[in-house]
Structure 1
Amino acid sequence: MINHQDICDISFRRATEQDIGQLVEIERKSFAVPWPAEAFHNDILHNRFATYVMIECNREVAGYCGVWLVMDEAHITNIAILPQFRSRKLGESLLREMMSLAKEAGAITMTLEVRVSNQPAKSLYKKLGFQEGGIRKNYYTDNYEDALVMWVNL
């Protein structure tokens, strides 16, 4: 039986300065050490390498993904889906969209860091072709957990 609350009319759009409040709210609900508004403000308004994409479910913001495109490499800065929208494959849809946009922009590889303990995220990344690269020791400042570096050819 289909649960109609799980059905999403998905759309994507570039984040703007007006989205900074929502970006901060998504961060706060998703990460132990959320990025401050200033980080988004600087990236969106001043970092020519940064792109942020919002995913909407039925015209309601559900999450975002940020990437820095430098030369032929795309680096995912963050990807997050609000808790009430999780388990609907929105993270997968968003990452696929960002991979496509990065490829269109000339990137040939994409990298990211993920907590070594974050099995759901690592499973998603592997599903989309990401491979394990290396370890960044004590990467996360809240608990000094290591980060696994993952990468994929686009």
Structure 2
Amino acid sequence: MVKITTIIDADISHVDAIYKIERDSFIDPWEKTSIKKEISLNKLARYRVLLDDERVIGFYGIWLVLDECHIMNIAILKKERSKGNGSIMLEDLIRIARENGAKEISLEVSTKNLNAIKLYEKFGFKIISTRENYYRKENADAYNMQLIFKE
């Protein structure tokens, strides 16, 4: 059977799956109530889930503020990594940002997360600064990365 991978807007029915991925991916995960509020109440937020058939295997959340997009979180189930899913989600994220008038995308990423950094650089993101001890629970600095769209 052929698996069908799609990305759709997240809703309340996806909160448990997103929270599971969040816990699986980060030392200091967002609380389930925070994820639920982001999806249901935050008018600046846009959350999307990556589905493999009907199963949520990844998600991302962004804030769209005026002409800027900020990546709040992006994660994939550990067993679904290194299969191109990060690229699929980042392509969708960039498309959504552009469609909503963003001129740039920014994010913070742990300096220890080399796979994520390589992925962002592949899509043209540049390191613009370092934030010391940004991820306190993992004792890691963060790179502030940015992608500026050419006119």
TM category (shorter chain) comes to over 0.9
Whichever residue aligns with residue 30 of structure 2, its letter is W
Matched with 2:144 is: 149
2:107 corresponds, among 108, 112, 120, to 112
Query: Tell me, what secondary structure is at the counterpart of 2:58?
Result: strand
TM-score normalized by the length of structure 1: 0.92
State the alpha-carbon separation in 2 of the partners of residues 143 and 12 from structure 1. 30
- Give how far 1:91 is off: 0.8
State the alpha-carbon separation in 2 of the partners of residues 40 and 25 from structure 1. 11
Deviation per residue, 1:48-78 (Å, 9 max, x gap)? 0000000012332110000000010000011
Distance 1:151 1:8, change over 3 A: farther
**RMSD, aligned α-carbons:** 1.3
State the alpha-carbon separation in 1 of the partners of residues 138 and 18 from structure 2. 23
Q: Which runs of 4+ in 1 moved over 3 A?
A: none
Matched with 2:10 is: 15
1:98 corresponds, among 93, 112, 123, to 93
Where in structure 1 are there 5+ consecutive unaligned residues? Answer: none
State the alpha-carbon separation in 1 of the partners of residues 61 and 26 from structure 2. 14
- Give how far 1:16 is off: 0.4
Query: Tell me, what secondary structure is at the counterpart of 1:107?
Result: coil
Distance 1:8 1:91, change over 3 A: farther
> 1:4-153 alignment to 2 at 5 Å?
8-153=3-148
State the alpha-carbon separation in 2 of the partners of residues 132 and 8 from structure 1. 36
Query: Tell me, what secondary structure is at the counterpart of 2:73?
Result: strand
Deviation per residue, 1:95-153 (Å, 9 max, x gap)? 11011001001101000110011111100000000001101111112033110000002
| C-alpha contact 2:27 2:138 (8 A) present in aligned 1 | no
Instruction: Identify, as 1 or 2, the structure richer in strand.
Output: 2
Where in structure 2 are there 5+ consecutive unaligned residues? Answer: none
Deviation per residue, 1:8-30 (Å, 9 max, x gap)? 52201001011111111000111
State the alpha-carbon separation in 1 of the partners of residues 34 and 19 from structure 2. 10
State the alpha-carbon separation in 2 of the partners of residues 8 and 113 from structure 1. 32
Distance 1:25 1:54, change over 3 A: same
- Aligned residue pairs total 149
